[in-house]
Structure formats: structure tokens, C-alpha cells
Amino acid sequence: MSKFVYDFTEGDRSMSDLLGGKGANLAEMTRLGLPVPPGFTITTEACKAYLSAGKDPAGLGSQIGTALAATEARSRRRFGDATDPLLVSVRSGAKYSMPGMMETVLNIGLNDDTVNGLAVVTKNERFALDSYRRLIAMFGKTVLNISADHFEDELQKSKDANGVEQDYEFNIEQLKELIAKFKEIVKGQTGEDFPQDVHAQLDLAIKAVFNSWNTDRAKLYRRQEQIPEDLGTAVNVVTMVFGNRGEKSGTGVAFTRDPASGVSGAYGDWLTNAQGEDVVAGIRNTEKLEDMTKAVPAAHKQLLEVMTILENHYRDLCDIEFTVEDGKLWMLQTRVGKRTPAAAFRIAVQLVEEGLISQTEALLRVTGAQLMHLMFPRFIDTSSFTRLAKGIAASPGAAVGHIAFSAERAVELAATGMKVILVRKETNPDDLAGMVASVGILTSRGGKTSHAAVVARGMGKTAVCGVDELTVDVHNRVVTTASGVKLIEGDLISIDGTTGEVFAGEVPVTASAVTQYFNGELTPQEIMADPLVRAVDHLIFHADSVRRLKVRANADNGEDAARARRMGAEGIGLARTEHMFLGARRELVERLILAENEIDKKHALDALLPLQIQDFTEILEAMDGLPVIIRLIDPPLHEFLPDYTDLSVKVALARSTNTLQDSDEKLLQAVSRMHEANPMLGLRGVRLGIMFPGLFALQVRAIAEATAVRILEKGNPHPEVMVPLVATVAELEPVRIEAEKIIAEVAAKFGVELNIPIGTMIELPRAALTAHRIARVADFFSFGTNDLTQTTWGFSRDDVESAFFSEYLERGIFGSSPFETIDPYGVGELVKMAAAKGRSVKPDMELGVCGEHGGDPRSIHFFNEIGLDYVSASPFRVPVARLEAARATLAEQTISSTA
């Protein structure tokens, strides 16, 4: 029989696959001798078996009974005993943290009899009744699927009727009345009484936690965080300890370092006379962790000691949940804490400097996605803007958006392209879709460890929480400030997640200090003075010393090339020449297209040549000494001409008024002649070069002459010519022959030696399948993964992304958009195959990628794994690619060392 239940004394933190993160860490703390309440964990395997069969796996019930008996023995109480009852909490705990996404039920074991026993043994009837009313509400919502609104509305009615503001102000008689009302809700909504059988309570609660793995919000969170669907959740059954027993009791969440900034020291939230859910739900505004010293100084001192033990043991920031019951500290959970991107970098470097981890470990603890967030803009100057309120800086950044008071409205507004700030009293897991859709979150309740704060930090969203000065009226869709200013849905506000400030209107933003650092705008002194920038500098320097993959940039002009070089680019992986034909040069392109004879055509080409030479000279100057891959013109020529429909209307109107000009008539004929039903699969790329003689020759000559001039000026240019959209070696051969002839002519003309490699983009499935043939006449391959994704999937990117991608992502057909992250099984397999085929002909052939995937962190790991030489990304993403390429190298080394 499979083992489905583990006592906390049986496991350790290495067993997170089986026990979930929470269960494994409870076992680890037990192993360390820390004060953990007795309990046991039901494994993820039990959850998966239950969800698969729709019933408990064989043997689970008896194993739970055995574990419960052991817990009773250690706690010296009996479950269901009317005189001194054992109460338990039932908590979810997947391998990866999913805060608030799955279910928890506290105070399991209370009924009409045991509540009296609890009152007697604790000598605190009010506490016992308060625990019972909490159980009925939580059990009703979580297990019986009763809307929480029913209980919350009744709670508010009771507060209003009794003149009570806070839950802890209810007296004994008022709590008895509230319990009776809550029971009526259960009876009215389910047709059944609240269950009095404590074992039935436990069984139903365990099943509710199992089922919560498949709730919509849990699925959405897993898609958002790329957590596998098949892991299942463990269930932790833990002896209840009570933070709501009076002024010597309380509950809190603590961090061994500030999870928002990374600053060293103990941070967290504390609530006197409360249970744990009160903190994370944001129902009451919390106190600071140091406020514990007023009520329970000895427990506070012990907590700091435990925090030091845990951080040194885990060698990382630890997130801790704890309860103090009548002055005694109990540890309910620990895990490696979620943190903001800024905190991740600062903490990684701090731990290196403290000797807890190596530089390599530090590099593996930060990600390219986090670095990207650090490069987001910040507010320039808020002095001229009206500050509406100030709350807790829960997740840093600067966000400007229109107010939405519900998750549904946030999703609706975001779908129209509007930037949205979700404004709530507090958020709960049902708000996740709105949080994903918003650029920022603002709540009037809660603290740094509230649901809104934790989820926002995990997503890299800006959040301000606990803004007492704001009164949020969700029903009437209005928020009122302490000074009486009213804001309605759709009004524009700005929130600063670093300071906690909220402003009216749109505050201008500027680049972050990290972006300024990468752009070369900071002095060495300024770098050292900023702890975050210093941490980024430390880790990016180490990353460059570790990574195998080179990082180049996609840049189309000298200015972009210079910026890319400042960002750390080691060359240009893609210079798109079609952008050089836009603007004022369109007229020259029109002349070229409309040329009626070779003389007119030559005049047009001659006029374009010096302009192209200048274009390439600027890029080669900016990237002097580094490789520059220049792609010959790719899109169909009609893209440089007027819209067919617009021009047809113009010509028709001119004919009706006898004002038609010859040039417009000829232009319409040309546009009509070149019009294609599907131009992205039509006359473009190499086909254009073959069918329109002189166009590729113009560009190759311009590249060669720009190179020759740079050599004569003592420069060190390294251009490479890339031919786009090749499907067969028979297309590349004539282009290469003509290019080599032109390069030789230019070399002779200027008296210099020109060594300009000629390669191709692999962006069609046929090119990938016949790469060994194409490699015979190509010096290098660059994978154009944008078009390769389109042609492999049969997608038109401009159409499908808006048509059905959101539905595909929602249904789980896509784990992520194949245009954002490489599809390893289809497109990726073609890239891998083509790389191997190319190198079977030329073992030292240079291979790179220049599509959008070149800047995507997960895709970079794939390209490193299959042995590409470089990735090329937009200038802004170059630092991200540098960092992630190093992480890919280290991950590969780790896999090799453990193989």
C-alpha cells in the first residue's frame, strides 16, 4: 500500500515534490527543533489519486486516522473530546508557493459541544465562541461553497446593530447571536445543518483543499507563473494554536529581510488577538513587527532568534508565519520568501558578501525577467501633482492608469488597450484576473503581507496597500479621500509603489537608475552609492564572465546601434534595411518601382546608393570592431507604396472631376500589379532580389563601399550580408555569386581587402529541413524565429494574436504565446535540426537567432542548450539576455554535474 501520510517528524525540506513546500518546511523546522505544532501532511500523490478517481485512494482514511492519533498523543488532547478538544487547521501546500490560490480552513473540530469544552479549558468563553463563528464562516465558504458575502453582510449587520467596529469588540452574547445567524445561513444555502461530526468536518475540509487545486483562480495563477498543472497539492493538518486568545496572543507574518527593498533586518506584520487569516486577508490594518514587544516581548525576542536560525539554514530570505498563544511562540510556516526584483538583486549580493552563498549561486537567484522589471520607468517629479493619500509601499514601481473597482471591469478596460489601476478595499484570490490585467493595485486595507501585496510582488506589479485615508465604495464605484475628494471609475491616478504615495492625474515618468546605469549615464561614484545599481553591476559583471552565448542587438541605425553597444551588445545580429527606405525616401522607392526602362531604374538606384552607404557607415562606426549582420531588404515592395484602396478611391474621384494625373494612374497600375492576397508568403525576401534585379546589388555595393571607406579611415568594420526568406539553395546560389562579384569590384576600386561573409536566415520549415544543402553556400545561419513560428504553426501573427490567442491561453492550449517563448517541440525542433544539419557540412558554422525570442529568458535557455553561438535582441533587452545567458550556462553545468 502506498504511503500517503507523513508525520512532521518524518520528512524534511528535500521532499517538496511529495509533501509540498509547506509540509516539507514544517518537517524541516520540526527537525531543527523549532516550536512547531504537532501535525501531519497528506501527500501530493494522494491529491492526484483523488482528483483522478474522484474518491480517496485505498488506505488514505486509515493512514489519516493513525496520524491523527499520533497528533493527539503529542498534543495531549483528543479530536472531538467535549472536555479538552484537539482542534486542527487544514491547509493547502503545493510544491511551488501559490499565495491565496488554494484553500485553508481553521478551527476544524469545533461543534456545539466542543466549543463549550474549549471555553472551560481556556477559561475564555469569548475566545471559544469567536473561534466557532470563524469556523462556520470559513467552512461555509471554502467547503460548502456558500458565497462569503452572506457571512460578511451578516457580520456587518451585527456590527452596526451593536455599535461595534472591530471583530474583537463583540461580547459573548453578541457572538452567540452571530453564530446562530451563521448557522441559519448554512441551513438556508445548503439545506443541511452545519456538520457536528468533527471527523466529517476534517474529511470534507481535506477534500475541499484537494479540489481547490482545480479552481479557476488556481489554474490562472499557474498559467501566469508557469507552474505545471500535474503537480497537485499536499494537505497539512496542524494542531491549532490560537492568536485570538487575548492581549498576550496574536499572529503575524515576518521576513528575515525586507522583501520589497532587500534591506537587511526583520520586517513583517503583527496583529494582537487575531488569527492568521486576519493578517493575509487584510481585514484589519496591521502593526509593525516591533510592536510585538509591547504585548509579548519574550516571544518577540525568540522570534528574532528563530529568524536568524532559519535564514542561516536556508541561506536566503525566509518568509515566516507564526502565532503567539498566551505568550508562547509557535512556527506555522516558513519558505524562501517571494521578493521584488530589486530585493532579489540586493539580497543575492548581500548573501555573497556575508559569505552565505557563492557568486554563482547569487546569479542563479536572480532572473532576466526581474532585471527587466528593474528597467521600468519611475516618476520624474511629483511636486506639482496633488497627493491624494499615502499608504504602505507594497510592491515598487510607478504605475499610471484609470480606476477600476472590480476585477471584471479591469479586464474589460484593459481589453480596450486602456491602462488600469485596480482599486479595492482589499483583494482576494477571486480578483486575480483583474490584478493580471492591471498595471497597478491600490487597496485601502492590508499591509506588506496582504494578498494584494504578495501577489503583486510575485507578478512584478506596482502596489500600494493599507491606504487608511481612502474610503473605497465598490458598490457605488467611488473612492473618497480624507479631504473629501471623490474619484470615480475611469479617473486617472498615479501610484508609487516605492513610497506608497497616490496622486491625482498622470505623473510623468523617467527611466530607472538601472536603465541609466546600462546606458552609461552614471559615474562610478553614483554606481557605488546606489545599493541596487551596485548589486546589478556586481551580478552582470559575473554573468559576462560565465556565459557562453554571445549577445548581439537588433538595430537599424547608428543611434540604435550605439545604444545597444552601451547596453553591452557584442555586435548587431539583425540590421533591417527596409526601415531605411521609409520617410522621405519613399519617393525614391516609388521611382524605382515605376521605372519604365533600365535608364530610369538606374537613376533611381543611383540616387539610393549614397543614402544606403551613409546608413551602413553609421552602423559600422557605432559597432566598430564588432560583427554587424545586415539583412537585405525583406518585405514586398508594395509596403512602400500607397494603400491600394485609398489610391483607388483617389483615382476614381479624380476621374469623375477630370483632374486625374498621369502619375497617379501609373501608380495605381503598379500597386494593382503588385497587390497580393497574402503578401507575407508572396514576392518578398530572396524572391524579391531575384525578380527585381539591381535591388540586392545596390545594397551589397553600399555595404561593401561603406566597409572600404571605414577601412581607409583606420576603422575596423565587420559586416556580414544576410539573405532573407531562403527556401532552397537554388535561391541563395545566384545571390551569392552576384554579391561576391560586387564585393570584389569594390575591393579593387578602393584598394582594400574585403572579407564579408554571406549567410542566410532560416525562417521557413523547408529551409530548416534542407539546411545541410543550404549550408554549402552559406557562411552562417541566423534563425528568424518570428517567421519560422508563423510558417510552422500556420499563423498570421497580425490576425491570430487578437483573434484567439487569449482563448488558447485561457484553455491551456498554449502555456505561453509561441511568439513570446520558443515552442521547443515544433519550432524549436526545427531550429535544433537545422543547426545540426548546417554543422554537419561546416562544423564551425556560426549560428544565431535574431527573432523576438532572442530576448526572452526561457527561450535563451533553449538556444544555449542546442549550441547556438549568439542571441540577438532589442537594445533594451540586451542586459536581460546577458544575465539569462549566464544563468543558462550555469543551469547546463549543474545538469551535467548531476548526470
Q: Please tell me whether residue 769 adopts helix, strand or coil conformation.
A: helix
CA gyration radius, the chain? 33
Residue 683's nearest CA partner among 629, 718, 740, 724 is 724
**Candidates 402, 850, 853, 861; catalytic one:** 850
Neighbours of 566 (CB within 10 A): 15
DSSP 40: E
Stretch (H or E) spanning 265: strand 264-272
CA atoms within 13 A on the CB side of 476: 8
Residue 75's nearest CA partner among 241, 252, 188 is 241
The amino acid at residue 722 is: M
**Candidates 451, 538, 638, 718; catalytic one:** 451
Neighbours of 163 (CB within 10 A): 7
Cβ neighbours of residue 815 under 8 Å, at least 6 residues apart? Answer: 223, 226, 821
List helix spans (H) across 86-147: 114-122, 125-142
Residue 441's nearest CA partner among 466, 416, 475 is 466
Give yes or no for a contact between 299 and 292, defined as CB atoms under 8 angstroms apart: yes
Let me know if 451 is a catalytic residue. Answer: yes
Q: Please tell me whether residue 498 adopts helix, strand or coil conformation.
A: coil
List helix spans (H) across 124-258: 125-142, 148-162, 172-190, 198-212, 216-225
Which phi and psi (to 5°) does residue 577 adopt? Answer: -80, -20
Q: For strands 287-288 and 870-873, give the pairing.
A: unpaired
Give yes or no for a contact between 575 and 555, defined as CB atoms under 8 angstroms apart: yes
Number of alpha helices (DSSP H) and beta strands (DSSP E) in the chain: 37, 33
Residue 348's nearest CA partner among 524, 517, 543, 512 is 543
Task: Give the dihedral sign, CA 31/37/42/47.
Answer: negative
Give yes or no for a contact between 458 and 436, defined as CB atoms under 8 angstroms apart: no
The amino acid at residue 522 is: L
Q: Which three cell numbers stand for residue 311?
A: 535564514
Let me know if 318 is a catalytic residue. Answer: no
84, with CB counted inside 10 A (0-12, 13-18, 19+), is middle
Q: Which three cell numbers stand for residue 461?
A: 506589479
Give yes or no for a contact between 276 and 301, defined as CB atoms under 8 angstroms apart: no
| Largest interatomic CA distance in the chain | 106
Q: Which residues pair with 551 in a beta bridge?
A: 871
Give yes or no for a contact between 102 and 213, defined as CB atoms under 8 angstroms apart: yes
Task: Give the dihedral sign, CA 101/107/108/112.
Answer: negative
Give yes or no for a contact between 199 and 179, defined as CB atoms under 8 angstroms apart: no
Q: Which three cell numbers stand for residue 594?
A: 515605376
Q: Angle CA(242)–CA(244)–CA(249) in degrees, nearest 5?
A: 80
Which residues are marked as active site?
451, 850
